């Protein structure tokens, strides 16, 4: 980034982070000591915060528009996992220096996604230092309808949305662990840089899912959170994992399984559905236009995950993402 010291903190906010008209329920937004919003009746508020740090969560050369999109998308994915409607967001960004071209692209990626989901930026902070972005999103969910991790029961069926592993596949290329063709890289980078939060699917799951989580740290790890919270075990049918054509072309089936289970940053939903609601999945998710796949079933236990490939036990060597490893 090249320095342009003529812009100050409030200039940056005015120029790049007050681009759209606020929602009708924003009483007071950017520009005051705190935001004021109106809450709908008979609703609970859902709140989620994520921080992205250069060198930990993204490379220094990530396109700024992709970073702006992703910074918001990871929080919207948390709202989707709760069945919540995202409404308001705050952004705290630490910049090593001011680069207007970078800021213009970052804010475009951020606002394009915010406007798609009708989310208003209502405040935040800017400061100088190593590049990091902290986003807090606030959403609403009807009273008693919030999706949780602790409601699954033995016998429930396990589903995931979308395809799994493409983001991890792109990351492996960027880390020089494998080499993708230009077309394979383009398709997998789209999933890595521009994940699509499954907010509409979250709405549809409110009345049928027993437990839900977004897949940010890899399916194996994130499903494990549901199992421990719900005191269950799981059997996964690995031949049923949803894999993209790009994945199938680029790597072996064993590598595909490893990426699907542990690649991380898919930002799809993993959810469980009781047998009594299994017939309602098609109806509940049809309006969302989002692909979904049944990949296994829960059983009594204490968090164990049994892997099977065509009814034979399967051993997985690779662990999922951990922020402190």
Please report the pLDDT score of residue 322 as a whole number.
42
For the chain, give the percent of residues with pLDDT over 90: 80
pLDDT over 60 (residue 122): yes
Mean pLDDT check: name the lowest of 19-28, 81-90, 191-200, 227-236.
Answer: 19-28
Please, which pLDDT band fits residue 26 given cuts at 50, 70 and 90? confident
Q: In angstroms, rounded to a whole number, what is the distance separating the alpha carbons of residues 44 and 96?
A: 38
Average pLDDT estimate for 74-85: 98
What confidence tier does 32 reach under pLDDT thresholds 50, 70, 90? confident
Residues 295-305 pLDDT 10s: 999 999 999 99
Distance of CA 165 to the CA centre of its chain: 13
Adjacent-strand bridge partners of 61: none
* Whether pLDDT at 3 is above 80: no
Q: Residues of 31-59 as b/e, b for ≥16 C-beta within 10 angstroms?
A: eeeebebeeeeebeebebebbbebeebbe
pLDDT of residue 316: 83
DSSP secondary structure letter of residue 54 = B
Q: Which two tokens stand for residue 115?
A: 């406007």
Q: Indicate whether 321 pLDDT > 50.
A: no
Confirm if 262 and 146 have CB atoms less than 8 A apart: no
Report the pLDDT value the prediction gives residue 14, as an integer from 0 to 100. 63
pLDDT at residue 223 in the model? 98
Out of 28-42, 108-122, 310-324, least confident range: 310-324
pLDDT for the residue 1: 44
Position 239 confidence tier, pLDDT thresholds 50, 70, 90: very high
């Amino acid at each position: 980034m090249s320095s342009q010291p003529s812009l100050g903190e409030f200039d940056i906010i005015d120029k790049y982070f007050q681009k759209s008209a606020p929602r009708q329920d924003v009483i007071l937004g950017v520009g005051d000591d705190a935001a004021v919003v109106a809450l709908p009746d008979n609703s609970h508020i859902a709140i989620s915060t994520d921080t992205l740090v250069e060198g930990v969560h993204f490379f220094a050369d990530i396109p700024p528009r992709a970073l702006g999109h992703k910074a918001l998308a990871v929080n919207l994915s948390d709202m989707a996992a709760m069945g919540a409607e995202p409404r308001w967001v705050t952004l705290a960004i630490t910049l090593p220096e001011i680069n207007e071209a970078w800021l213009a692209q970052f804010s475009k990626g951020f606002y394009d996604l915010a406007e798609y989901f009708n989310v208003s930026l209502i405040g935040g902070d800017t400061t100088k230092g190593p590049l990091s972005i902290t986003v807090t999103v606030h959403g609403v969910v009807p009273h008693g309808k919030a999706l949780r991790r602790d409601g699954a029961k033995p016998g429930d069926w396990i589903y995931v949305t979308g395809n799994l592993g493409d983001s991890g596949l792109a990351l492996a290329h960027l880390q020089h662990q494998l080499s993708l063709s230009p077309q394979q890289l383009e398709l997998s980078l789209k999933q890595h840089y521009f994940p699509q939060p499954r907010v509409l699917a979250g709405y549809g799951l409110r009345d049928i899912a027993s437990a839900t989580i977004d897949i940010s740290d890899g399916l194996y790890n994130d499903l494990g959170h549901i199992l421990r919270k719900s005191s269950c075990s799981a059997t996964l049918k690995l031949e049923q994992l949803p894999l993209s054509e790009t994945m199938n072309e680029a790597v072996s089936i064993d590598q595909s399984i490893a990426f699907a289970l542990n690649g991380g940053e898919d930002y799809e939903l993993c959810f469980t559905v009781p047998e009594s609601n299994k017939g309602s999945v098609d109806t509940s998710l049809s309006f969302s236009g989002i692909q979904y796949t049944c990949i296994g079933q829960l059983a009594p236990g204490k968090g164990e995950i049994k892997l099977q490939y065509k009814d034979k036990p399967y051993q997985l060597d690779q662990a999922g993402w951990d922020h402190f490893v």
